[in-house]
Amino acid sequence: MKNLMFPIDPIRKISSVLFICFALSCNSQKNPTPEQEQVLETAKANFVFVEGGTFIMGNNDYHYTTLEHQVTLDSYSISKYETTLKEFDLYTELNNLELAYPNYRNQEDMGPDYGAIGMNWYQAQSYCQWLGKQLNLPIDLPTEAQWEYAARSRGLDVEHATDSGLLEGGVDDNYATDKPVGSYEPNPLGLYDMSGGRPEWTNDWLVGYSKNTLVNPRYDTIQYYDKKVIRGWHTLRYSVYDRSGTRDPDNDGSGVGFRCVCNQKTPIE
């Protein structure tokens, strides 16, 4: 498939590369305490294996940007929860980095078990890749296709990543209210808050969906626009398809969180 490339701002690209090189440097990292090691082990245990397959990504009835197309994915694992502030704070502490949103830590929705916010796309990706180094696993941000396939429990025809695939009165009355991760029932795959939690960074640049059948599509190097795609927005219809909330990758103030994937074709042991 042939794609056009639009140039990336060279200053932004250089500064981002320098940040990632610094953040992933092992030379400056502190040794974790036993309690901190347990946080890492818990993050590892929270990955859910997603068996690969073929599904129809997108929804023609929702929006013209969500063109239906066939996608085949290899198996992978994805975190059942969004990365928490406790987990992200461990990363910043061990790597001598600035605390995320330090002036807002007295807010109720900034507790250790809430989804982490206050990081841009580069910092979110760096956390996932750093976690992979600690666990010796190929961990990164999810692609758009991986995110949607998991949210839809391997491609089910649903509107939301809830236990029923719907928003139900009496069960989801507090939909989109900030709560600790895992406060609502998971989707059938066992994943929490992919609808109703923090909106989440993905690995991909905003790219128009292809009409062709795709295998493991990635748009982390192919760039049409200068925005990264965020998934999981709080929409009352079709939240598992919505991709309107794109952001500049340097944006750290829009309340966006993230979860990580492990690009290993077998379950994590």
Residue at 78: amino acid letter = I
Asked if residue 4 has pLDDT above 50, the reply is no
- How many domains does one find in the chain? 1
Considering the domain boundaries, does residue 3 fall inside one?
no
Percent of the chain past pLDDT 70, that is, above it, reads: 87
Asked if residue 6 has pLDDT above 70, the reply is no
Q: How far is CA 172 from the centre of its chain?
A: 22
Place of tokens 């941000």: 141
Q: pLDDT per residue over 84-143, tens digit each? A: 999 999 999 999 999 999 998 998 889 999 999 999 999 999 999 999 999 999 999 999
Residue-level length of the chain? 269
Percent of the chain past pLDDT 90, that is, above it, reads: 69
Q: How far apart, in Å, do the first and last CA atoms of the chain sit?
A: 36
Considering the domain boundaries, does residue 231 fall inside one?
yes
Q: What's residue 194's pLDDT?
A: 95
Question: Higher confidence at residue 260 or residue 212?
Answer: 260
CATH classification at residue 47: 3.90.1580.10
Reading the block at residue 248, the tokens are 């500049």
Reading the block at residue 263, the tokens are 């690009």
Range of the domain at 43: 10-26+34-165+178-262
Locate the DSSP E strands across the chain: 47-50, 53-57, 69-73, 76-79, 139-140, 200-205, 214-215, 228-231, 261-262
Q: pLDDT per residue over 18-74, tens digit each? A: 444 444 444 578 898 999 999 999 999 999 999 999 999 999 999 888 999 999 999
Q: What's residue 223's pLDDT?
A: 65
Considering the domain boundaries, does residue 269 fall inside one?
no
Considering the domain boundaries, does residue 4 fall inside one?
no
CB atoms within 10 A of CB 254: 13
Considering the domain boundaries, does residue 5 fall inside one?
no
Q: What's residue 174's pLDDT?
A: 66
Per-residue confidence at 196, pLDDT binned at 50, 70, 90?
A: confident
Mean pLDDT over each residue of the chain, to the nearest integer: 88
Cα 80–Cα 86–Cα 87 angle in degrees, nearest 5: 55
Locate the DSSP E strands across 187-258: 200-205, 214-215, 228-231
Can you name the residues that pair with 54 across neighbouring β-strands? Answer: 72
Closest CA to 16 of 260, 262, 250: 250
Considering the domain boundaries, does residue 2 fall inside one?
no
Q: What's residue 11's pLDDT?
A: 44
Considering the domain boundaries, does residue 84 fall inside one?
yes
How confident is the model over 216-239, as a mean pLDDT?
Answer: 88
Taking a C-beta distance cutoff of 8 angstroms, is the pair 147, 73 a contact? no
Q: What's residue 2's pLDDT?
A: 32
Q: What's residue 25's pLDDT?
A: 44
Helices (H), 64-120: 85-94
Question: Higher confidence at residue 251 or residue 196?
Answer: 251
Considering the domain boundaries, does residue 172 fall inside one?
no
